[in-house]
Amino acid sequence: MVSIRAAEPADVVAITDLYNALLETTTYEWTEVLHTIDERRAWLRAKVAAGHPVLVAVDAGTVIGTATYGDFRDSTRWPGYRFTVEHTVHVARSHWGSGVGRALVERLVDVARVDTKRVMVAAVDGSNDGSIGFHEQLGFRVVGRLPGVGEKWGRPLDLVLLQREL
């Protein structure tokens, strides 16, 4: 039985593994530098300090997914964005299609609503048809495509923006 809970410091190794799982073989994340455990520890502390949720999905004691959100753009500098968040979700390949990603995003949506957010944004690599379709199934709609705004391995990459009204 999969459960979803707030991430704890002991989850950082598993979260780091989830973030790194496809980094070297896909353009889904626009960096070629692997995440480190120390960097993810600092990231988790910063997320918690900012009041942003970090969730994990756990199956038989193993973290198999994670999801979080943060500011869309800089809501301190531009407070008009304070009701919009950008999220990310990572699920172990062994659990793709099992409903874990859906459960994480839906729980994240619930948290965002309680936090008085109105819009959730997903920024997805244009080649990641699986993620785009996944988000569409969850009620997100494509609102824009930014051609060539990213790069990895010397290739220009498109960014697809999806949003869901909360």
pTM: predicted TM-score of the whole model, two decimal places = 0.95
Contacts of 35 (CB under 8 A, 6+ apart): 16, 19, 20, 23
Taking CA atoms, 70 is separated from 105, 130, 165, in Å, by 14, 23, 16
| pLDDT tens profile 71-119 | 999 999 999 999 999 999 999 999 999 999 999 999 999 999 999 999 9
Domain boundaries, the chain: 2-165
* Count of other CB atoms within 10 angstroms of residue 96: 12
Angle at which helices 12-20 and 37-50 cross, to 10°: 110
Asked: is 2-165 a CATH 3.30.1490.100 domain? The reply is: no
| pLDDT tens profile 143-165 | 999 999 999 999 999 999 999 99
| pLDDT tens profile 20-39 | 999 999 999 999 999 999 99
Distance, CA of 34 to CA of 28 (rounded, Å)? 13
Q: Which tokens belong to 136?
A: 């569409």
